[in-house]
Amino acid sequence: MLALVHLLSVTMEKLIPSEKIYWVQRYLSGEDSARHIAESLHVNATAFLQWVRIYQSLGEAGLLSKSQNSKYAAELKRVAVQDYLSGVDSLSGICKKYGIRSRTQLQKWILKYNGHEQLKTSGTGGRITMTKGRRTSYDERIEIVKYCIEHQNNYMETAQKFQVSYQQVYSWLNKYEQKGVESLQDKRGRRRPENEMSDLEKLHAKNTLLEAQNRRLQMENDFLKNSTKSKGGGSKPSP
């Protein structure tokens, strides 16, 4: 038994990042089941699913270096914890949105928060950095919300792509979901008030975001279909 455990441990350590990425992508595309992949690689299914969560949160870079610590700003920790405690999403969902490496890390922050400990910036040279907020146009906010919807409400990825703060992305998406596209207008400034936009402009913005929602729903439906097909386990890929 000890020899078998040692063998499994060695097998997991010998898997190079590109191999992990290949199998994770194969699982996410619905080509194979988690159980079958884990058995094929002689790894624990829980460990494999952890690779999947890391990949979904951080992309390929998350599986490239195990030793490098990620850097999380104190404000990100606070918002992530508050989102979870408010029932916004599950542990896995929050980790994916904010680029948090593991559910265990988020759970530690929750315990500290509930114990009234201060959440401080952590890590040394990780890939996650916070972007400060900036002024944006109405068209930019439409494009940002559209991208966020199409990418499963991944606030962190959206913020990094458009160089805005994750708080801005979170706020804009919530406004849109609660009050519609008109809530993305900004009445500040001396230029033409955005609330004077023509009906045609408003209709175009609404259609843009509705199309994004439809694409997201289609992707989710396709994923569910693939997952259902793969529940029985797929065939082992040819060498």
Q: Kindly tell me if the per-residue pLDDT of 239 is higher than 60.
A: no
Cα–Cα distance measured from residue 18 to residue 15, given in angstroms and rounded to the nearest whole number: 8
Please tell me whether residue 122 adopts helix, strand or coil conformation: strand
For residue 228, the model assigns a pLDDT of 58
Cα–Cα distance measured from residue 51 to residue 103, given in angstroms and rounded to the nearest whole number: 12
Q: Give the percent of the chain with pLDDT over 90.
A: 3
Task: Please report where in the chains the tokens 């199309």 appear, as a residue.
Answer: 211
Query: Comparing 147 with 185, which gets the higher pLDDT?
Result: 147
Query: Comparing 57 with 174, which gets the higher pLDDT?
Result: 174
| Mean pLDDT, residues 106-120 | 75
Query: Comparing 72 with 194, which gets the higher pLDDT?
Result: 72
Q: Where are the domains of the chain?
A: 2-65, 68-129, 138-228
Q: Which of 25, 11, 14, 10 is nearest to 237 (CA)?
A: 25
Rounded to two decimals, the pTM is: 0.41
| Mean pLDDT, residues 54-73 | 68
Cα–Cα distance measured from residue 204 to residue 6, given in angstroms and rounded to the nearest whole number: 60
CA distances for 229 relative to 3, 160, 200, angstroms: 36, 35, 43
Structure tokens at 203: 């209709």
pLDDT in tens, 151-175: 877 777 788 889 887 778 888 988 8
For residue 119, the model assigns a pLDDT of 67
Query: Comparing 98 with 117, which gets the higher pLDDT?
Result: 98
Residue 34's Cβ-count burial label (10 Å; 0-12, 13-18, 19+) is: buried
Task: Provide the CA 137 distance to its chain's centre, in angstroms.
Answer: 25
Taking only Cα atoms into account, the Rg of the chain, rounded to an integer number of angstroms, comes to: 21
For the ranges 30-39, 70-79, 123-132, the maximum mean pLDDT occurs at: 30-39
The residue type at 25: Q
| Mean pLDDT, residues 30-59 | 84
Please tell me whether residue 164 adopts helix, strand or coil conformation: coil
pLDDT in tens, 208-228: 788 877 776 766 666 566 555
Cα–Cα distance measured from residue 11 to residue 5, given in angstroms and rounded to the nearest whole number: 10
